[in-house]
Amino acid sequence: MEVQQQTTEHQQQQLRNLWNFLLEACLDSCVAKLVHSNLRLMAAYVQLMPAPVQRHIADSEASAALAETTGSPARPVAGQHGAPGPGS
């Protein structure tokens, strides 16, 4: 009877080891996939973002130049002091 109990415990330990191994392997695989996807997403972001940023800078410079030539202050940007914010 004792031998059968030891065999059962040994089998249960082997199953736990297998379970832990498979769980760790699965997690490693999922993490690797997520990291790879994140790197691809960031590469696309870095490649695409300069155009909107340059356009925003050009618009800001144009409105500042227009304000200087007309003598009126540039329209305040939301979030700056004196600018109407959301809900104003």
Annotated domain spans of the chain: 2-66
Q: Residue 87 pLDDT > 60, yes or no?
A: no
Tokens matching residue 6: 């030891």
In whole angstroms, give the CA distance from residue 27 to residue 23: 6
Nearest to 74 by CA among 85, 84, 62, 86: 62
In whole angstroms, give the CA distance from residue 84 to residue 78: 6
Query: Long-range pairs for 58-66 at CB < 8 Å and ≥24 separation?
Result: none
Confidence of residue 1 (pLDDT cuts 50, 70, 90): confident
Q: Decide which of 30 and 83 is more confident.
A: 30
Q: Residue 27 pLDDT > 60, yes or no?
A: yes
88 C-beta neighbours (distance < 10 Å), count: 6
Q: Position 25: which residue type?
A: A
In whole angstroms, give the CA distance from residue 17 to residue 21: 6
Tell me the pTM: 0.49
